[in-house]
Amino acid sequence: MHDDGRYDDPRVTGPGADPVSRETSYQGWPVDDGSGGPATTPPDYHPLVHGDEPVAGGPRPTSSVPANVPPARDPHEGTGRPVNAPSPHPAPVHGDAAGPGRYESQPGTAVPQQATPQAAPDRVAGVVVPSDTPPGPGYGAEPAASTYVSRETPTREEDDPPLAMEAMRAVQILNPSGEVTMPRPDRTRVMCVANQKGGVGKTTTTVNLAVALALHGNRVLVVDLDPQGNASTGLNVPHHTGVPDVYDCLINGVPLEEVAQGVEGIPNLWCVPATIDLAGAEIELVSVVARESRLARAIAAYPGHFDYVFIDCPPSLGLLTVNALVAAQEVLIPIQCEYYALEGLNQLINNINLVRQHLNPRLEVSTILLTMYDRRTRLADAVEQDVRNHFGDKVLQAVIPRNVRVSEAPSYGQSVMTYDPGSRGATSYFEAAQEIAERGVRESVSRNA
């Protein structure tokens, strides 16, 4: 026995005997099983598959091989499989086509063999294993206990599952207790939701912010000033032809309290609907005295007290939008995170400045809300950075993402706050409403200080 694992094979005698490694399997050489009987090589014997348990088979013809033939290599070497792990391939079958890692047991075919457990140190697939290494599965030992942990397994027991977290958010948004969880302002805040660009989320923002504030203890009035009447649809308020609407207030001077309707299921929310008749108000207001301040006088004459009045403007800069700007104290501008929404923003700011100079000196742009944010695109990030750099603290930290639940809710006559309160869209609008309420309280404190 040599130090490198080789020994003098007693079957080869004479002065020309070559030392043979125990790992070397020469073609056709018989294997001595140590029983004292004739040496045989089972035809189906594959030590990498069967460990040291040979299968039954007949003798294999012997032949002489030169001593410089390199030892056979493990076909799974370099694949990351542990040294003593059993082969992932099934046992070879006679007559099957030889595939990767399979051998056909036919006479005259070299079959790689593995060192026996008594060899020290063992050499398997070119890797030296210390002699004190416990035998692996190939030697009959039981495999070690698995330490694999699934990625889906919670790392901490206190982590709530997604459904539980969604249920908690839904309860927080719906506020079934009816407590005042959002601070109420010391005076009525009249906010005009305006942007001459269509499809940026003006109506959706108006409806969901109003519902969120009303669910948490604030008295809210929504004035639908868009002839399409989408805000009335989102709040499930009738707005068909013949229903008293905001047109009667602007043209015929009907008091606002006679037109406002309570929103079903939300006790602190009222809505002034808009019908198709409002489409002709642009032309009819041209000849009316004090045409720019008709809505402001109607809101001021309302006998009740509201914490918030949201005015949903049409996607234009006509007389209806001018009436909303004159009646409001603050302007909330929803901005879609795309380039076209930025392109017309300067024109809107210029018109707001004109109204401030000539008609409503107390008007200011107080809130910017980013809507339809798509985190998968770099454009959304670029638009967000440009808006925040230009408007600074006026931009809300809450951002409204693209969410299909927000688009589905109006088809059921609901806001996303009541349609799916656990969705990302509802959570984002809830955070935006809470931020608006808290900012109003801070501004009132600083104003009174």
Q: Pairing state of beta strands 330-336 and 364-371?
A: parallel
Closest CA to 435 of 369, 353, 349, 364: 369
Query: Is residue 99 within 8 Å of 62, Cβ to Cβ?
Result: no
Residue 41 DSSP label? -
CATH of span 182-448: 3.40.50.300
Cis peptide, bond prior to residue 121, ω within 30 of zero: yes
Largest CA distance in the chain: 129
- pLDDT at residue 340, as a whole number: 84
For 409, half-sphere exposure in the C-beta direction (CA atoms, 13 angstrom radius) is 27
CA distances from 370 to 240, 363, 402, 426 (A): 32, 21, 11, 15
pLDDT, one tens digit per residue, over 128-186 is 444 454 554 444 444 444 444 444 444 444 456 788 888 888 888 988 887 888 999 98
- pLDDT at residue 218, as a whole number: 95
Q: Which residues of 68-83 are buried (b: 16+ CB within 10 A; e: fewer)?
A: eeeebebbbeeeeeee
Q: Which residues of 42-62 are buried (b: 16+ CB within 10 A; e: fewer)?
A: bbbbbbbbbbeebeeeeebee
Helix axes 162-174, 424-448, angle to 10 degrees: 40
Residues whose CB falls within 8 Å of the CB of residue 361, separated by 6 or more in sequence, listed in order: none
Q: Which residues of 403-433 are buried (b: 16+ CB within 10 A; e: fewer)?
A: beebeebbeeebbbbbbbbbbbbbbbbbbbb
What parts of the chain have a pLDDT lower than 70?
Answer: 1-160, 449
Domain residue spans in the chain?
1-128, 182-448
- The pTM of this model reads 0.65
3-state secondary structure of 284: helix
Closest CA to 341 of 392, 314, 374, 380: 380
Q: Give the separation between CA 269 and CA 218, rounded to whole angstroms.
A: 8
- pLDDT at residue 157, as a whole number: 41
pLDDT, one tens digit per residue, over 208-233 is 999 999 999 999 999 999 999 999 99
Query: Is residue 224 within 8 Å of 274, Cβ to Cβ?
Result: yes
Handedness of CA 217, 428, 350, 364 (dihedral sign): positive
Q: Could you tell me how far CA 72 lies from the centroid of its own chain?
A: 51
Q: Give the separation between CA 429 and CA 74, rounded to whole angstroms.
A: 62
DSSP string, 169-205: HHHHHH-TT----SPPPSS-EEEEE--SSTTSSHHHH
Q: Pairing state of beta strands 364-371 and 269-272?
A: unpaired
CA distances from 79 to 73, 85, 128, 313 (A): 13, 12, 17, 66
Query: Is residue 52 within 8 Å of 122, Cβ to Cβ?
Result: no
